[in-house]
Structure 1
Amino acid sequence: MSRSFHVAAIQIDTEFSSCAFSTKHDFSKDPKKILVISWTNRKLVSSTTSTCILFDSGGTFHSFGYEAEKHYSELVLNDQHINWYFFKRFPLKLYKSKRLTRETILEDVNGKKMEAMKVFSSVIGYLKDNMLKEYSRHFIKIYDCDITWVLTAPVILYDTVKQFMRGAAEKVGICGNRLLIVPEPEAASVYCMYQPVQHVYKSRLFDPGAKYMIIIAEDRTVEMTVYEVQHDVILKELYKADKCHWGGTIVDESFLSLLTDIVGKDVMDAFRSNYSDSFIDLLRDFGQKKHSIRPDEIGKITIQLPCHLLFAFNEINPEGEIKANIESKPKYKNKITLLKDKLRMEAHIAISLFEESCSKIIYHIQELFRYPNLKDVSSILLVGEYAESNVLQANIRKAFYDKMLFVPDPAEYAVLKGAVLYGQRQQKDWI
């Protein structure tokens, strides 16, 4: 690996994608100084963009991320989308392929087919170009030879995915000697190594011979990997698990089930189909709220309901009231109230929304710790967007009180920023 003045990382996940970079100078002064690229979605600024890609009817790349979502929605409204290619959440389908090759085919949301290599290379090319534009805002001039690119990959089928991603990157001009591909849990581990924790705690966590489980808990998936630390902090993989669908979306689904029980299935169906933007806003707002809910919370939790949900209810129930629906159900009476557009529920009801997700995660961890070579795992590293949840952290801490639980701050950037740090660490003469 040749020396570079900059390291740029690209993370392409099932739901969202993101980019970040740091310079040789910043890494030598403060390794944690890493710039994450921001995206705009309906005037809201985010550190990630949706993993969606749109090609026109001729198969030419059109757009990626929130821009692709917006343009495709407009095509659907105008009934002009049939001949276009719109791929959403395609990495999951790609990584699940038992025989991933350059000839692998992906189907878009309408069943139209395209080479997976073309889809993936177009994504990498777009993110690369977007990153270079961002560089131009911070530096006078940048050359490809000045950048080491790091792509993250799932630990499952890593060797196969690695070769595929390398081929996709080379198609858009990222040369092999400027490209690193790192397993997601290993990247997150490197990120944790650079976090400010107590000296004794940190030495125990990454001492030679120490074993730890790293859990990447995202909103849709949860992935568990176990490492044993070797000399020079080299990691030996002891166990790798499939991505399981026990993440924060299960909590979202429990919340939507609660709302559906209150307003009725017909109302919720109408709200989702007729006011899709408001429905997405509701989930986003609840997603922020669910991370802040504490397991010892008392009193009531307040969630603002979109006005379009109230419109949908009034359209279907012109003579009814949501308040009356709530009061008619004994399990909600005096526990859930509606004040204008504010839904207020007792804290224990909000906390109960996490039960299914947390119980499945904990049960699986318990099963893994029964493996003979994993019984002496001493620590758990919890990273990812869903790792920010106070309730999830508390449940894991309670269930595994005999193990150290480490949650970096912020946990949601662990894989992306860890990939940048991984790239910097390869420049051994900088350290």
Structure 2
Amino acid sequence: MPASIPFREALRVWVRVALLSFGGPAAQIAVMHRILVDEKRWLSESRFLHALNYCMLLPGPEATQLATYSGWLLHGYRGGLTAGLLFILPGFISILVLSILYAGYGQLPLVSALFYGLKAAVLAIVIDAVICIGRRALQGRLHIVIAALAFVGIFFLAIPFPLIIVSAALCGLLAAHYFSAGHAPLREPVAEADSARQVSPSRLRAVKLLAVFLPLWFGPLAALAAVLGSDSVYFQEGWFFSKAAVVTFGGAYAVLAYIAQQAVDIYGWLAPGEMLDGLGMAETTPGPLIQVVQFVGFMGAFRDAGSLPPMLAGTLGAVLTTWVTFLPCFLWIFLGAPYIEALRGNQRLNAALSAITAAVVGVILNLAIWFALHVVFRELRDFEYGILDFELPIATSLDPFAVLLCAGAVLAMLRYKIGMLTTLLGSAAIGLVYQLLF
């Protein structure tokens, strides 16, 4: 039972999850799955996937929301806040430090060298996620087909993520209707023991949550507008990223291009190419990939500091941007999770969510291949022909040592069952030595 899990023990686990959360959402989901489901057995497979399905439907960073949902399942609001905040904190501190160094000293070759090898281990974690989640989530031929179509759609055809999710849900609903008409299902569902919390949803509870979170979200923006005016860089950043938190479906990968275009071309917060530097920081530090918005907020305020010292202005911009980006994540989870939990026994909803899970496997496979291409090739080019739209690696830019390092990390984790932390540290050390020597 959740009550039998001491909060102190859960706190240690959330710290561990946070410190191992490298490599974007696919790797982070894999870390949580391995620890919460396989190792600790605090959540059943079905409960974890049910939570993941809901988080994939929400705007914003799905891995952060999954950590918050899992913490809420185990220890209520206290658990959700603890898990979510700890998941964000290491990335926030890391990127704030790197942003200060970047603004003061430019690009950091030593940091790049350190994280060169780390990416190989992250790729191994992502591949492990595809295998583990795919093995459990693909419950029959229909789910395999959905996963394959989702991969083709997002990787080769650049179909928007929300359209893929909606299409998968419709397939699941149609399949549930077909099976309920007297046809045998492709595979019987497996009953699982599950001891996570049960909370009855209520309107009063929802009103109370809104009464707390909406002032926390929009109160600082109203104060900034009143004191500094709506033209100040702080209000502009707060308002822009508040809007992004509501409309950014599909996770970090789906929204980064939009944020980069707005930050460079519309607001002038970043110079061309700097978004890639910020993305490199976010990819190679623990925490959500969408944490790159903190770098955008820092640089925008740093360059429009007014009467404040530039570093202080940048820090304030980073804090504000992080606040309005992640605070809505807690609202979506605390508001919606009880309703999602109450509907766990609904056959049609479960069929739709199971189909979404199958599509998510295809999406994670897309992320794994996308990440692999960027790790082992130094250059890629856009390829467009008819309905096809994807990135092709340039063969001459292949990095042979990166390939060897990735293969070694994959073998270490999947074949020899070496732990994540050991693999991460070992790959980072090997990559650092190689980069400094060659």
| Superposition TM-score tier, normalisation by shorter sequence | under 0.3
Instruction: Tell me the TM-score normalised to structure 2 length.
Output: 0.24
Greater helix proportion? 2
Higher relative contact order (CA 8 A, sep 6+): 2
